[in-house]
Structure 1
């Protein structure tokens, strides 16, 4: 359970450090440009969340190695970005994660579940490829291509994990109210999304952006259709599900708009943050709070707190989007608002998680079941 509070604390700190490093020359070298910022969002925060959610309870010795590898890779990348030291530490974390995770995922029988194996392998190898590419070329020459593939692979992971968290919980909540939810996992939609997003991630470095745009836009529409069929709007007593639904909505909208920008050759930087800030932020905070508080204290997350966190992340997302269109306020002011809202959300969550882990019962979380 320690991965979640530590990743949450890191997420709360990383954005102010990024903004400072963008502006001042004495900032952290690993956060001084968009390349380092994207690397930490995907492979620092993102992979840390995956480790906490999918691994479940492990031996203390193994978790110590994993945490040390994750922490060391963060430190080395922040001070020595894309160095061999960064590669070595990231390799320890990634290889340890895959060593335990891949055998666990391979027991799945359905192809939609087994696809997590190649997905996790690709997500684990991408940061190592990025460092090697930077060392060989002097710069991360393939940054845009690797970043685009990383974004789509993490979007696919959020489609899968978010759906597997929301669908059974929504079905149970509807059943408690005397209703039967027919559209649960929606395997055909899930399969289509796996093919669309997985295929787009694999081919996007080499094909025309218009083709990728069409595929990703269709995937975004399917995500929104899947969300609508869960009928979360009628579950007003389940704040945890409603907030997860908001995150899933950000994911669908972000994919749709990202596809449109690729199709029309518009700038996509602002839209990308609907996925990385809106979707990743809202889904990760909701799932961390839900898992940790239920496993340690046996209670659901406080509704008011969840709503405030979700609202803060919505402010962070919209402010980050507004920064690129220079609407009403200067860009720097919008960025400050976005960073403050993001860090407030994760700081509040971090307090919850540390208190739950320190004072709650012993976790028996087996990790995700497929």
Structure 2
């Protein structure tokens, strides 16, 4: 790492960092690079304001590494807690195996430690690692107190045919009047999780009005109701392709054939994924929940190539999507650094 300086990102670094992101594909079973349609830093600051980026710079001023840490609140074993999510680590191939990734990781962990000292309470460091990303896994083993879990990341193609209408069920966007019920249902869903997103009424209200510059309506929460107006199930959709999309750099051959035939990957290797998040349904309303899911796949067919779910392989919510196991997918594991005892048997979900 001779001559390489690791420091916080400055506004003047944006173009150099974007050039790096276009050159460096995410590691793992499926490797991809991100294409941005709006100013990248503006998007990050709008959607995740409590974020900090570290860069690695050569003596000539070239940015050859970058990584982010994002702070927020989530649920740890039924209680509110703080986290620092380490993500988007990238090092230019010509500068790997020089300790740059390690230095940027240590820089971010130090930031987590400082946040813990400021708050006077535990701040859990967490990272997600895609299957096959051996370098990131080796890096995590150095600092994590626990590595485990398996969360499937599955893109489900949009529907080409409108789902059949079901008597008595109505699918519509949620309103402010629905948020108390939605927040309560999500709290019930996540109460037994070891780790899960915190999605109370106030957070949901803010999430629904998030914007990046002139791009509004990014997040929508859909619900299905019965004849009496009772909420039966809910699902959040993030219209991410309005901000960025993915260019596939490498994918296992069999997965690539399946992805192209299903329309998950378009010409030029482009994937336009919409994350589907914060799903729940009443115990007696699985059929209505599946109808909501199919309706979302139809409603967003012109917005992107797929709705993408990220779920613990043990999570019963997978029955809501009823996605066939042969659909192309990858998986992630979690790396955690915590001073608190971790419930190894609890379900896992990543923070949003």
- What is the TM-score with the length of structure 2 in the denominator? 0.31
Structure with greater helix percent: 1
Which structure has more RCO (C-alpha within 8 Å, separation ≥ 6)? 2
- What is the TM-score with the length of structure 1 in the denominator? 0.30
